[in-house]
Amino acid sequence: MASKLMEGRRGQDWVNLILAICLFISPWVIGFVGVMAPAWNAWIVGVLLGALALAAISVFAEWEEWVNLVLGLWLIVSPWLLHFTAETHAMATHVVLGVLVVAASAWAVWDVRHPHAHA
């Protein structure tokens, strides 16, 4: 049971790593590299998410998932707080990836808090 729980968490951490990579390359792929606030936000948060995902893949700690969750929430609200809602592609990218990061991180935290659910 413990190894199955670890596999699940590792899967969620790999999802977060893929989301971090998508976020980091999104300014080039989606086309908002010339707009400083969303581009830098994507690069900085992408690096942070990627580093946390790699750390969680190697040695899991629940606090990493909580930080990921906060970063995901930041991505969701950052278009309004950093004033780039007019950049619709950048805004949509941040909100969608933020929701996915929050979902993966919340799922990982839920797995830690409810290990009996895997029985």
Model pTM score: 0.84
DSSP H or E run through 76: helix 62-81
The residue range of the domain holding 74 is: 2-118
Count of structural domains, the chain: 1
Q: Please state at what angle helix 88-113 crosses helix 36-58, rounded to 10 degrees.
A: 20
Q: How far apart are CA 72 and CA 22, in angstroms?
A: 13
Give per-residue pLDDT as tens, 65-88: 889 999 999 999 999 999 999 999
Give per-residue pLDDT as tens, 97-114: 999 999 998 888 887 776
